[in-house]
Every structure is written in structure tokens, then in C-alpha cells.
Structure 1
Amino acid sequence: MSQNAFSRAFQSDLFYSFSHSPTAIISAVVALAIFFGALFAPLIAPHHPFDLASLDLLDANLPPAWNPDGEARFLLGTDDQGRDMLSAILYGARISLLVGFASVFFSLVVGVTLGLISGYAGGRIDAFIMRIADVQLSFPAILIALLIDGIARGLLPRDLHDTLALYVLIFAIGISGWVQYARTVRGATMVERNKEYVQAARLIGMRPFTILRRHILPNVMGPVLVIATIHLAIAIITEATLSFLGVGIPPTTPSLGTLIRIGNSYLFSGEWWITIFPGVALILLALSVNLLGDWLRDALNPKLR
């Protein structure tokens, strides 16, 4: 049965579209390389960049290995604390990807739930949810994330700021991105609720929650997956922006944005590698995910087949 599933997958239109798109293939290879590098960072990274016992300030600000002043054990050089940049990027990508995936999942759950309720119920409930969405759309996502982060820092005890910073950041980014899911699912739900199979489910006495979960939800998930793919890149960039501004992940467990912020102080003093390499990693990650999202949007659009 698993062989039949694999056979159907390889013979599907989606796989055909992917195999005939060089951009999608290259983007997938780059994204998977970064994902696996971040996931297996403890096994792949040549050093543990955040183990204070293994750091030596005498190794600080070493250039990349191909530079005459570099050392072979630090391929991409070191930062101001003697941390290996390659290892720091691998570990930093773990935090960036964790925040990205968690915030996208949170946005997806909230947005899809509210979109289903709004599109199926209609009336005042629909108007109320959509007015909240319209108000939120009038503010940039980064501003909403900054506002929520500031409120959380004001309400939480100071000694818990670093401990809960990751969860606050995920919530802040997640709550700022639910609107796109809600509006898309609402429109699809309003179309599906008038179809015959939904009317038949109502006639046999099926509850609205069951109709939404069993019948409508599977038919509106196609556009949601496309939005989630593109939103992942946006969430990663938003996390990097917040960390660059100093309101994201604490420096003790830095993400790519924190590494860029640290290196920015040394950019004009000659230690360019401290900020350039994390920046390149962030660009490659966001660009590859964005290109995959664009391909998936086109592949799932029947008008473009």
C-alpha cells in the first residue's frame, strides 16, 4: 500500500510540475540543506558556539580560513567572543526556524478557525471577525509584533524576560499573521457552504462543527498551504528584524537576526564576516522558501495548468 502511495505521488501533477521547474528544485535543495544543517547542528557543527567553557577570547575576530590571518579550524572566522561563525549560524538557524514554524502554525490554527466560523456562520459573527481583521491590516505586522512584545515585557517580571522571550516572540509574530488565513478561508467557506454535499450533511442532522471539520476544512486547505509556505519566510524575516532591534531572542541563545545585530557593530571596522555570513544565510533561507511558495501557488492553481 505504501508503494502504491509513492507511485501515485510520483505520477501526480504536483510532482510533474516540481520535476520540470529548475527554480523549485534548486530552492528545495537550498531550503532542505539549511533545514537539515539546523536540525542536526549538534552533530554537524565543528564547535559548540554557546558553550562558555570552550570559548577563548584569543580566538576573537579571526577572519575566514582562506584569509592569510585565518585558521583552518574556523572556516568562516569567529566573532568578537571567539565563537565559530559556521557553528553559530547553524545553531542560530535552529532558533530562527523554530520561531518561524511555531508562529506560522499558531497563525494557521487561529486564522483557519476564525475563517471557518466567519464564513459558515455569517451575519454579525462574520462582521465582527472581519472588522477585527480590517483593523489589524491597517497596521504593519512588525509594529503589531513590537507592540505585543513591549506589552509582554511590561507585564512579565524582569527575571522571566529571557526565559519567556522565545514564547513571547512566537506569540507576537503568530498573532500578527492570522488575518491572511482567516480572509482566505472565509471566502472559500462561503463558497463551500452552499454546495450540495454541505446541504446534505445539514439535512441528516450533522452538527456544524462536524461539517466544518469533516467536509469544509479539507476543501479549503489548498490555498492555506500556499499562504503558510510564503508566511514562513515572512515570519523568519520578522524574527530576524525583531532580534536585530534587540527585542527578540536574548543574546545567550542568538538567532540569525541576533548574529547580524552583533556583527553590525564590527562591519565598518574590517570584521565584515561577522555580519555578512549570517545575513547571507538568512537571505538564502527566506528566498528559497519564498520561491517554493510561489511554485506551489502556481502548481495548485488549475487555471495555470
Structure 2
Amino acid sequence: MRSFLKLLVLAAIVGAGIGLWVTAPNRVDAARFDGLTGDAARGETVFTAAGCASCHHAKGSEDKLLLTGGMEFVSDFGTFYAPNISPHPEAGIGGWSFEDFANAVTRGVSPEGQHYYPAFPYTAYTKMQDQDLSDLWAYMQTLDPSDVASKPHDVGFPFNIRRSVGGWKFLFMSDDYVIEAADNERGRYLVETLAHCAECHTPRNPLGALDKARWMGGAPNPSGSGTIPALTPDKLDWSAADVAYYLESGFTPSFDAVGGHMAEVVENFAALPAEDREAVAAYIKALPPLDE
């Protein structure tokens, strides 16, 4: 009996050690950014493509570049609120280093070493190119600060245990692309990384991770009203020109106008070069049908 108890204790210690290793924050290697210089002008394009203002701008304000945060994201795990990411030194991220920023955006890890919840789409941003990340950081330093404090998330037990997010990342976070690029790397980069389109257009498994087997297959609207449409060719019969025009104008081939949060997405894409919208359209038209 005593031998059995010793083995049980040893197994518990080993199991706890493995658990701590699996759930530990995974930070970037800062040396990979040596020699990089951010360009704020290029960073503005990255900022727009990534939709940063769409979620983080001050609610009710016409200033889309005042990144006070506050937008709510309702989920089965609780309600998450976009934080203040303005360059304010206390209320925002003005006191961060570039390394802090890189860890947050591409690893989902705070400067204090806590895991961010994946309502923040770092699972897509993890593939962001180093130069784009540096340019984005440079641009965000030029924006106006806001002293409004971030609203705390409304998440109950057990989802409020931040360390458990590390286990979720271990299971579901990957820097691999889902679709082969063929000759359209820009389109794939925009859709799968910067614009993180799958966050809304792909269904999720019971643990909240994207169901990559049904990539871009449509999903319930997190607001609880309706669904986010599928973009696969068996569901969307628009031409590439139709898709590109929609991203520029907000009008569908049947002359319906964009609505909801997608209006913000169209506003962002309309500000990008036409070549980017065409690359996204080409990516969408190359998606495999779900019924294969």
C-alpha cells in the first residue's frame, strides 16, 4: 500500500510538471527582430488590413483611431471586451516595448506573462511577418492616447483560470497555413493572417477553436442573431470580380448593402490597394467546397 501511495504521489508530481510545461507562456525570440526598423507609413496599411480599429476604437466616437476599446464579444465562455491599445502609458500600451507587443500580437502573452484569451485573434496574427509587425508598432505610436481604463472581461470559473489558456494553445494554436498558397501568397496572407477572416466565417468546435475541416464554411453569429455566411464555392456563387467589388463598395451582386460588423471590414478593405482586394477574391474563389 505504501509503495502504491509513493507511485501515486510521484505520478501526481510528474503530471503537475507536465501540466506546467504545457500551459507555460510561449514567448518570441527577441533576437529575430534585430536590425528591423519600423516604417509608420507602411504600418498604417498593416493596421488597416488587420482591422485593429474595427474592434478597439472608442465606442460611440467618430474618431476610429482613438483606440480606447470597449467593444464586447459575447461567447459561450463569457463576454470579452476589447482593451485600450492606445499609446497611453498607463491605460494603454504606451509603456510596452516592441518585444512586449510582439509577444501579445503573435503569441497571445501579456507583458506580465499571462495568457490572453483567444477572443484576441493572435492565433491568426502568429503568422504575421516580422517587418509588418515592426511597421505596425511604429504606426501605433503615432496615434492619440486615451486614458480610459480597459473594461475587465466577464468570464466565470473555470474559464477565468488564465493558465488553462496555455493548454488550449497547446492543442489548437499553430503557425501553419490552412490552404495552399498556389501563386497567391498575398491573398492567403491577408485572409488567414492580417484580416483573420476565418474568425467569423469558420465554425468552432466545443472548445472554441476553429474547425479547420470546415474552413470558411459559415458559422453562427456570435451576437446570437443569424449566421455568418459560408465563403466556399459550393455556397457562394459570386465571381472573383463580385467579391472584389463587394470589398470595395459594400454592395452585393444583387445590390444589397453590407451591414453589421462586416461594414467595418469593408471600410478597411476599401482603403487597401485594388490588388489586395483582388488577391483576397482569388483566395476565396480557390477555396475547396465543403462537400468534397
TM-score by length of 2: 0.24
Higher relative contact order (CA 8 A, sep 6+): 1
Q: Which structure's residues are more often strand, by fraction?
A: 2
Larger radius of gyration: 1
Q: Which structure's residues are more often helix, by fraction?
A: 1
